[in-house]
């Protein structure tokens, strides 16, 4: 929901905007506050998140432009509403979305809102796409990291992305790799689990941890996962729902 602040010293002016928004745009916009001066507006903005401001210019004490002395790099968008067309150039210097002349024409006002909402949707989609890309790059970066294992005769430093699965073997652990090789390390499965990136691995059973992206099949009857090399890995009953949510639904 987009939080809206109306700033206008004339009750009938901000009342008209409030009526239109609540009648036609209540599913997208929420009136978070009404201020009749810059001072009042400043307090409302400080005390809560505001996304969009409808800003009058000619007001007592401070004109609307003074709002930007308090918020020189605003985190909210601004649509100016004024009876004077002489401020338009100055308004757009502040990156105004639009400049509406009073008396507000309902049709023009609605066109402005529709344009704002459309642009806002595009920005939100772009933000989500950037977030997804960052998450993907984080996932890729984690896969390129190396992890240390101690064996009886060596210290191994394989890439995280080279691991297929882990199998508990008493106080030791067997590590199976995607190239078909295997090592036995002198660490418990639990201690290894604490060092693994959760975005790459899942504990399916008290004896197994698998690389999430290696699952190619799940047998719902016998409760086991088939990995890319054909290995069958047991899924415990208490972990089944989380396995389905984490591993299957994300692929």
| Domain ranges (residues) in the chain | 2-127, 149-248
Distance, in Å, from the CA atom of 88 to the CA atom of 101, rounded to the nearest integer, reads 10
Per-residue pLDDT, 172: 92
- 9-23, 92-106, 116-130, 197-211: the lowest-pLDDT one: 116-130
pLDDT at 6 over 60: yes
Distance, in Å, from the CA atom of 52 to the CA atom of 44, rounded to the nearest integer, reads 13
Distance, in Å, from the CA atom of 168 to the CA atom of 206, rounded to the nearest integer, reads 8
Tokens of residue 109, six digits: 């006002």
Which candidate, 205, 201, 218, 206, places its Cα nearest to that of 165?
201
Distance, in Å, from the CA atom of 84 to the CA atom of 25, rounded to the nearest integer, reads 26
Tokens of residue 178, six digits: 């995607």
Per-residue pLDDT, 127: 54
| Widest pairwise Cα distance in the chain | 85
Q: Which CATH homologous superfamily contains domain 2-127? A: Response regulator (3.40.50.2300)
Residue 39 contacts residue 61 (beta carbons within 8 Å): yes
CB atoms within 10 A of CB 248: 12
Fold of 149-248: OB fold (Dihydrolipoamide Acetyltransferase, E2P) (2.40.50)
What does pLDDT average to over the chain? 85
Section 183-207 average pLDDT: 90
């Amino acid at each position: 929901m987009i939080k809206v602040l109306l700033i206008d010293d004339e009750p009938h002016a901000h009342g008209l905007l409030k009526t239109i928004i609540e009648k036609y745009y209540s599913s997208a916009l929420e009136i978070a506050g009404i201020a009749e001066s810059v001072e009042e507006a400043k307090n409302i903005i400080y005390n809560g998140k505001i996304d969009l401001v409808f800003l009058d210019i000619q007001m007592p004490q401070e004109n609307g432009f003074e709002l930007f002395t308090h918020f020189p790099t605003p985190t909210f968008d601004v649509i100016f509403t004024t009876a004077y067309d002489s401020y338009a150039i100055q308004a757009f210097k502040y990156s105004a979305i639009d400049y509406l002349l009073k008396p507000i024409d309902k049709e023009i006002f609605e066109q402005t809102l529709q344009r704002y909402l459309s642009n806002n949707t595009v920005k939100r989609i772009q933000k989500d796409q950037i977030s997804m890309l960052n998450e993907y790059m984080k996932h890729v970066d984690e896969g390129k990291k190396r992890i240390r294992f101690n064996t009886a005769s060596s210290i191994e430093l394989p890439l995280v992305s080279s691991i297929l699965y882990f199998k508990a073997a008493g106080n030791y652990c067997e590590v199976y790799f995607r190239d078909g090789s295997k090592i036995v390390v002198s660490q418990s499965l639990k201690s290894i689990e604490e060092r693994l990136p959760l975005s790459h691995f899942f504990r399916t059973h008290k004896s197994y941890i698998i690389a999430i992206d290696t699952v190619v099949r799940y047998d719902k009857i016998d409760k086991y996962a088939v990995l890319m090399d054909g290995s069958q890995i047991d899924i415990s009953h208490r972990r089944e729902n989380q396995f389905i949510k984490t591993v299957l639904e994300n692929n």
